Structure 1
Amino acid sequence: MRAFPAILAFVLMLWGAVAQAGSDRQALVIGMAKYQQEGLALENTVNDAKLIAGSLQGIGFDVTLLVDSPLAELQAKLAEFSFKSETADLALIYFAGHGIEVQGENFLVPVDAKVGSNRDVQAQSVSLKQFLASVDRARKMRIVILDACRNNPFGDGLEPVAQAEEPATDEATRSSAGGGMAAPSPDRGTLVAFAARDGAVAFDGNGGNSPFATALADRMKQPGLEISLMFRQVRDMVLKETGNFQEPHTYGSLPGEPFFLAGTDGAGTQIAAEDVQLAWAEVPPGQEEQFKRLADDGDTRSMIALGRMWLNPQDQKRYNPQAAIGQLERAANAGEPEAMFELARILELGLGTEKDTARALELYKKAADQNFGDALNNLGFFYARGDYGLPQDVPTAISYFERAANVRHREAMYNYAAMINAGQVPGKGPADAANYLYDAIRAGSKRVFDLVSQRPDVFSADTRKALQAKLAEYDFYAGTIDGDFGEGTQKAIRLAYGISG
């Protein structure tokens, strides 16, 4: 049997951790009202931003508020927010102002934009892609909320795209012409919320705030309200307020873990990681019924939610393994890789059913085909060890670890770094291993943090030096690059992980 380096096993737990409260939830809230270009000023956007900022602060977010920012300031703050978000469980951006689609791409407009052509928009605005990149490295959940006009507010010179027909109304919109943004396609674990469905306009509101901001601020403060249901309730409130003219819409996907934006007690408190098996038990019966209805309508996240809720043996009132497996089967058959992975773990371990490792491997591979990180990492570990009748195949294991690491799977980044450190990845060296170790630490893996802190000798002196250099590159470390993980390096690792002091 071929030897291979020590690999951090992905511990096969049925329940994933949920986000915790405090500064691990970051928000950037932006309000643009005093546009310098004639005819573009908006009434309520700054009021909306302040309302949302206050609501988020009230439930434990660390909030950065920007008001009427020019392009340079907006870009600088996005860069700062992106770095802070790397150690946040949840990163959220809220933007109220003018938004525009140009040639299939969505842009958010700062107050100093002077626009006369599509090229001007691209040069003087910030794209939705940039917003998404700014939250991309948050550890668990990424949300971008646009209370923008989603139109071409600059007139006919910008070659507006085909526009959706709007109902007649006397209420002002955040636009000077009808129109709409393109529907985004964010990555897994990222949610984009539009104040109005793509191709429609968002009303500015007749009072001090827009209908969308009013509903969002109200719902986000409700303790014990699971986030997917929160956005659905916001939609219902806005539809009612606008006489069915404006329908908010979400794009992308949330993780299959429960998350309560206001926590379970109204103060932002989330369920601790060690209590993760109780996470779905926190969902009240009334919300469980809503998940059932959504699952019946084909919502795969609701199927996964019910599957996890009913497979928790600590919640005997709900415990129903066969019904749980049935929901996961439905979601897996609909092509949902997270459901495939959950079902594979159940079959691998025989949780509430008989073990079936052959089908478990089949499901792991199907989930891996969709680049689902947990499945990729598990398969890498199985091939590295030769588990479940698979041949011990280190090159195949390395391939799986690399794919998982490149979708920022935390343990896989460590595993791949270990393979590089052992000289088993052609063309990769200590600097590459250090880059993956650094990213795993920033991504919030407690096990990686503990291993790098407590057992640095697992890695070569060259890899340790390269990691010190990486920590110094981001101003976490100012000591000698010598491979000695003394107190200075230990403090730098803590800072990179997100522990101050």
Structure 2
Amino acid sequence: MTAVFRIICVLLLSVSPALAQADSRRIALVMGMSDYQTLPALDNTKNDAVAMAATLERIGFDVTLSVDAGVAEVERLLEDFSFRSEVADLALIYFAGHGIEVQGENFLIPVDASVTSNLDVQRQSMSLKRLLAAVDRARTMRIVILDSCRNNPLGDAIALTNDTVESADAEGTRGGGGGMAAANPDRGTLVAFAARDGQVALDGNGNNSPYALALMEKMAEPGLEISLMFRQVRDSVLRQTGNLQEPHTYGSLTGVPFYMAGATEGQVDVASVEPIDGWASLRSDQEDQLLALADQGDTRSMLGLAYIRLNPNEGRFDPKAAVAFLQTASDAGSPEAQFELAKLYERGTGVAVDHPRALTLYRAAAEQDFADAINDLGFLHYQGGLGLPADPQKALTFFERAADLRHPQAQFNFAALIDDGLIANKGPDDSAYYLYQALRSGSADVLDLLSDRPTMFTGETRRALQTMLKKNDFYQGSIDGDFGPGTQRGIRRAYGIEE
């Protein structure tokens, strides 16, 4: 296949509809640490974990429950969960147990840890970063929930006790006072703390903590959008604890609406390919709550409100109002808002056409590693658009960057360019790597093309992909470049379709 034809194929993929995904899949890892060997035991964390696992299973999650695990077992669980999360729409980790802030970093402590110094904590505990890495490759949403807001109040002389915070001694807390450090997860990832940074989380007088009770109640409510769910959890815990404990979330999810217990009739859930369709089905009472959150500066709420007003099939269609919401969110630094606003300026929707302004916004989003913007800039440089001269070589750098950020379309495009010999110092193994990653990222385009037209790739790349499938236990056949039934089954399994 010639290089010219392959680039045309890449360009055709670039304008295809939003990527379809495998059937919506939600997975959760729930860990409860109670019977500590060298630290004070916690009364309710085991109860919280067991009840949380049951709640998540009831609302459709595939749940792995672990109680009183040691550090080696936790590491094994995280490794397995990380691999499985690659083909999940939503990956969620819930941890209840002792947590400590050491030198600005948060650590979660397994039951067999023996900690007498900061170094012990760092060696024998799981950092929040490790938990975030375990959910990082989920396709749509990533959530880490910590019912464990503690720090290291004694510096190097760690001594976790059952000390209580002022006015909270009736219920007790899960460790020493002071709270955990604020989190700063990547875009598309939410970290939820039972208590905001600097506060402690109460263990509760009954069988469960106030936070676990509120969380289980709200997440089981069908049709409650996830941003509003966490806000209602916050309000409930504040009421239960007399304002002693205020849950807090860090990071931001994507602009796709999501319902933990599933959507109600007429609502579109996370599997929706277009955010404007999903947000348009939001209940009117929840739209009012979004407006309140937007007034408080929540950029995801602004995005949702903008998507509602960009749906031409909706009575609320109002592109100018959408521009206003997106402009506010863009000014607040939201890369998704910058990207969506750029498209409006490029097309002249709700505003006058302004290509320089559109290009500025695309670049602003790209500077924050927003993969959609980077991929689009690649095509603008390749074709010459928005006043840019055609520069295929510069375009390749954008395609590679977007591919390395796990943009499924860019991963396929870059694999095709490598296969055509257009990328220096990269060969069949690299092409196969990006094809495999595109499958794991949920690219239906790649699944269809490898199923229907595998010979569009060279035999060397096909053999390299078979090798990669075999390495990951998706394929057991010969490495011959022939994509017969066995290879096709391996491709589907890598994509996330079990047969």
Q: Shorter-chain TM-score: which interval? A: over 0.9
Cα shift at 1:173: 3.4
Residue equivalent to 2:14: 10
1:281 alignment counterpart: 280
Amino acid at match of 2:115: V
- In structure 1, the gaps of 5 or more residues are none
Do the aligned partners of residues 450 and 431 (structure 1) sit closer, same or farther apart at CA in structure 2, a change above 3 Å counting?
A: same
| Distance of aligned partners of 1:82 and 1:271 in 2 relative to their CA distance in 1, 3 Å threshold | closer
Mapping of residues 227-246 of structure 1, within 5 Å: 227-246=226-245
- In 2, distance between residues paired with 1:406 and 1:276? 24
Which range is displaced more, 295-304 or 225-234?
295-304
TM-score, length of structure 1 as denominator length: 0.93
**What letter matches 1:58 in structure 2?**
R
Measured at CA, do residues 325 and 157 of structure 1 come closer, stay the same or move farther in structure 2, by a change above 3 Å? closer
| Structure 2 counterpart of 1:83 | 83
Asked if the contact 1:29–1:63 (Cα under 8 Å) also holds between the matched residues in 2, the reply is: yes
Cα distance between partner residues in 2 of 1:156 and 1:338: 40
Aligned to 1:446: 444
Report the secondary structure of 1:168's partner residue: coil
1:409-424 matched pairs, under 5 angstroms: 409-424=407-422
CA RMSD in angstroms comes to 2.5
Matching of residue 479 in structure 1 with residue 477 in structure 2? yes
Aligned-partner SS, 1:279: helix
Note the C-alpha offset of 1:389. 4.1
1:74 paired with 2:74, answer: yes
2:292 corresponds to which residue? Answer: 293
- Range with greater deviation from structure 2 (117-126 or 92-101): 117-126
Whether 2:58 is the aligned partner of 1:55: answer no
Give the structure 1 partner of residue 199 of structure 2: 200
- Indicate if the aligned counterparts of 1:18 and 1:276 stay in contact, CA closer than 8 A: no
The structural deviation recorded for 1:166 is: 4.7
Tell me the SS of whatever aligns to 2:14: coil
Structure 1 segment 337-356 matched on structure 2, within 5 A: 337-356=335-354
The residue that corresponds to 1:117 in the other structure is 117
Could you tell me how far apart the structure 1 residues matched to 2:225 and 2:20 are? 12
Identical pairs, percent = 56
Query: 5+ residue gaps in structure 2?
Result: none
Equivalent in the alignment of 1:459? 457
1:15-52 deviations in Å (ceiling 9; x for gaps):
x7898875x10000011101111x51010001101111
Distance 1:274 1:117 in 2: 49
Aligned ranges 1:18-37 → 2 under 5 Å: 24-37=25-38
User: TM-score normalised to the size of structure 2?
Assistant: 0.93
Residue 283 of structure 2 aligns with an amino acid whose one-letter code is P
* Cα shift readout 1:97-117 (whole Å, capped 9, x = no counterpart): 001111222111111111111
Superimposed CA distance per residue, residues 232-291 of structure 1 (whole angstroms, 9 cap, x where no aligned partner): 11001001100000010111111111111111139x983653675421122111111111
Deviations 1:180-214 (A, max 9, x none): 22111111100000000112111000000000000
Q: Which position in structure 2 is the counterpart of 1:360? A: 358
Per the alignment, do residues 471 and 19 of structure 1 end up closer, same or farther by CA in structure 2, a change over 3 Å counting?
closer
- Going from structure 1 to structure 2, the CA distance change for 1:359 and 1:7 (only over 3 Å counts) comes to same
Q: 1:430, CA displacement in angstroms?
A: 1.0
Counterpart Cα distance in 2 of 1:238 and 1:499: 40
Change (3 A) 1:247 1:18: farther
Map Cα deviations across residues 215-238 of structure 1 (whole Å, 9 max, x no partner).
000000111111011101100100
Whole-angstrom distance in 1 between the partners of 2:205 and 2:20 = 39
Aligned length: 492
CA 447–17 in structure 1, closer or farther in 2 if over 3 Å, else same: closer
SS at match of 2:202: coil
